[in-house]
C-alpha cells in the first residue's frame, strides 16, 4: 500500500477523475494507475465502460461510439462523485465522425451530469497546439482505413501527417497484447525527419511504457493517447505535478525545464558526454535513484532509463554526504573513492565530477558531469561551470519550494 496515501485523512480529499473506456481495452487502466502512483495522495481515477470490440469503418463498429452510450456511462461515473469525465478513446479521430463528434459527446456528458468533460482526441489537439506542432508522424495499431481517416481528420484541423506506420489490427483485444518491441519498431517506422513529434493514436496500445526510451532514441517528443488523456485530466483537476518516467508530456514542468537548461549549459561549457541531476523531493515522490533531468552529447546513452542502483549506498554518494563539496575524479578506475562499477563498466564513464546540492543541512541531490572518451583533467573553468550550475539549480529548487 502507498505510504503517501496513508498520510491523508481519507479518500475524500482526492481529486476524482472519471474515464469512460472501451470494454475491450486492457492497456489504459493499468498504465494510468501506474502513472498516478506518483501522486496517489492527490488524485484517483474511476472507470466506466462502453461496448467496443472491433475497430473499422464498418457501420456496426462506428455505431459502438453513439453519444447516448457515452452519456449512460457518464451518469454511472457521476454516481461516484467524480470531478470530471473523459472519453478515453480515439474514435472521433478515426471513425469518420471527426472532432465535432467528440465535442458533442462532451456537451451531452456535461448536460447529463453537470461535470466538465473532454476526450482523448480533443486532448491531443490541445497538446499539439500547446507545443506549436504543425507536422507529425502517426503511429496506430489500426488497419488502413481507420489509420488513413485519422490522418485526414487531423489534416482537417490544420495538422499535417508527414509520415506514419500501422500494425493492421482490427480486434481491440489483440491490440492490448502488442509486444513492447513491436511498439518500438512501430514508432521508428512512423518517424521521419520532417515530423516534429510522433502521435500514438490508440488508448489500447501500451506505448506509454516505452516513451522515455523512444523519445531519447528518436530525439523528439511522442504524444501517446493514454498519456495525453491523463495530461488533460490532470489539467482539469488543477494538478501540475511532474510525473517521472512517462515521457516528455507528463514530465514537463517549469522547474524541470529550468533544470534541463542548466544541464545543457553545463554540458556545453565542459564539453563532457553527459550531465545529470538527481533529487530527493519527498512531497513530489521524486527520489535520487532516478535521473530527474539530463543532457547528453550525440550518441551517448541516457541514464533516465536506469534506476537499478541504490544511490545512497554508493561510495561516491557517501563521500558527498560526508564532505559536502565537489568530488573530482580525473580517472574513475584509479581513484581513492571508487566510482560505481555499472557507471564505468556498462556506461563507460572514464572521468566525472559530482556537485552536491545541500538544503537544510541535508544532501538533497547532486549534479554529475560524465566524460566517456577517456580520462581527463578537469580545468578551473570546468569546476567553475559546475559551481555555477549548482548555484543555479539550488536557486531554482529553492524558489519552487522543492527542497
The per-residue pLDDT for 346 is 87
The per-residue pLDDT for 62 is 46
Q: How open is the CA angle 210-89-155, to the nearest 5 degrees?
A: 85
Q: Which domains does the chain have, with CATH numbers?
A: 3-248 (3.40.50.12500), 254-400 (3.30.450.40)
Query: pLDDT tens across 212-240, in order?
Result: 999 999 999 999 999 999 999 999 999 98
The per-residue pLDDT for 170 is 87
The per-residue pLDDT for 1 is 43
Kindly give the residue spans of alpha helices, DSSP state H, lying in 42-143. Answer: 59-62, 67-78, 91-94, 99-113, 120-130
The per-residue pLDDT for 65 is 52
Which residues, 6+ apart, have CB-to-CB distance to 48 below 8 Å? 18, 19, 20, 21, 73, 74, 76, 77
Note the residue count of the chain.
403
The per-residue pLDDT for 8 is 75
Kindly give the residue spans of alpha helices, DSSP state H, lying in 157-205. Answer: 172-175, 180-190
The per-residue pLDDT for 52 is 64
d(CA 55, CA 179): 19
The per-residue pLDDT for 182 is 98
Residue ranges of the chain with per-residue pLDDT less than 50: 1, 56, 61-62, 64
Inter-residue contact 64 to 92 (CB < 8 Å): no
Amino acid at each position: 500500500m502507498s505510504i503517501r496515501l496513508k498520510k491523508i485523512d481519507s479518500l475524500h480529499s482526492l481529486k476524482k477523475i472519471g474515464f469512460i473506456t472501451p470494454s475491450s481495452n486492457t492497456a489504459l487502466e493499468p498504465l494510468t494507475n501506474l502513472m498516478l502512483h506518483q501522486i496517489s495522495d492527490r488524485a484517483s481515477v474511476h472507470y466506466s465502460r462502453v461496448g467496443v470490440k472491433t475497430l473499422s469503418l464498418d457501420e456496426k463498429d462506428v455505431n459502438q461510439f453513439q453519444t447516448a452510450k457515452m452519456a449512460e456511462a457518464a451518469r454511472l461515473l457521476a454516481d461516484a462523485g467524480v470531478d470530471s469525465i473523459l472519453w478515453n478513446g480515439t474514435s472521433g479521430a478515426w471513425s469518420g465522425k471527426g472532432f465535432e463528434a467528440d465535442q458533442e459527446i462532451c456537451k451531452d456528458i456535461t448536460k447529463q451530469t453537470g461535470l466538465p468533460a473532454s476526450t482523448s482526441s480533443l486532448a491531443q489537439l490541445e497538446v499539439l497546439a500547446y507545443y506549436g506542432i504543425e507536422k507529425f508522424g502517426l503511429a496506430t495499431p489500426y488497419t488502413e482505413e481507420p489509420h488513413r481517416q485519422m490522418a485526414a481528420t487531423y489534416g482537417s484541423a490544420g495538422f499535417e501527417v508527414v509520415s506514419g506506420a500501422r500494425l493492421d489490427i482490427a480486434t481491440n483485444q489483440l491490440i492490448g497484447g502488442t509486444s513492447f518491441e513491436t511498439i518500438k519498431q512501430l514508432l521508428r517506422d512512423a518517424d521521419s525527419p520532417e515530423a516534429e513529434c510522433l502521435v500514438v493514436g490508440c488508448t489500447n496500445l501500451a506505448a506509454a511504457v516505452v516513451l522515455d526510451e523512444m523519445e531519447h532514441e528518436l530525439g523528439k517528443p511522442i504524444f501517446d493517447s493514454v498519456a495525453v488523456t491523463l495530461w488533460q485530466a490532470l489539467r482539469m483537476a488543477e494538478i501540475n505535478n511532474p510525473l517521472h518516467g512517462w515521457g516528455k508530456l507528463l514530465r514537463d514542468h517549469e522547474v524541470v525545464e529550468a533544470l534541463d537548461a542548466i544541464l545543457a549549459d553545463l554540458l556545453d561549457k565542459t564539453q563532457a558526454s553527459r550531465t545529470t541531476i538527481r533529487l530527493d523531493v519527498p512531497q513530489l515522490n521524486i527520489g535520487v535513484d532516478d535521473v530527474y533531468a539530463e543532457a547528453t552529447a550525440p550518441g551517448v546513452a541516457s541514464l533516465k532509463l536506469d534506476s537499478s542502483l541504490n544511490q545512497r549506498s554508493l561510495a561516491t554518494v557517501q563521500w558527498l554526504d560526508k564532505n559536502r563539496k565537489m568530488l573530482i575524479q580525473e580517472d574513475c578506475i584509479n581513484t581513492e573513492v571508487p566510482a560505481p562499477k555499472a557507471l564505468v563498466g556498462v556506461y563507460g564513464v572514464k572521468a566525472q565530477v559530482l556537485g552536491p546540492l545541500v538544503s537544510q543541512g541535508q544532501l538533497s541531490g547532486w549534479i554529475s558531469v560524465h566524460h566517456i572518451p577517456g580520462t581527463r583533467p578537469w580545468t578551473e573553468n570546468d569546476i567553475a561551470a559546475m559551481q555555477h550550475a549548482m548555484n543555479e539549480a539550488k536557486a531554482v529548487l529553492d524558489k519552487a519550494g522543492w527542497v
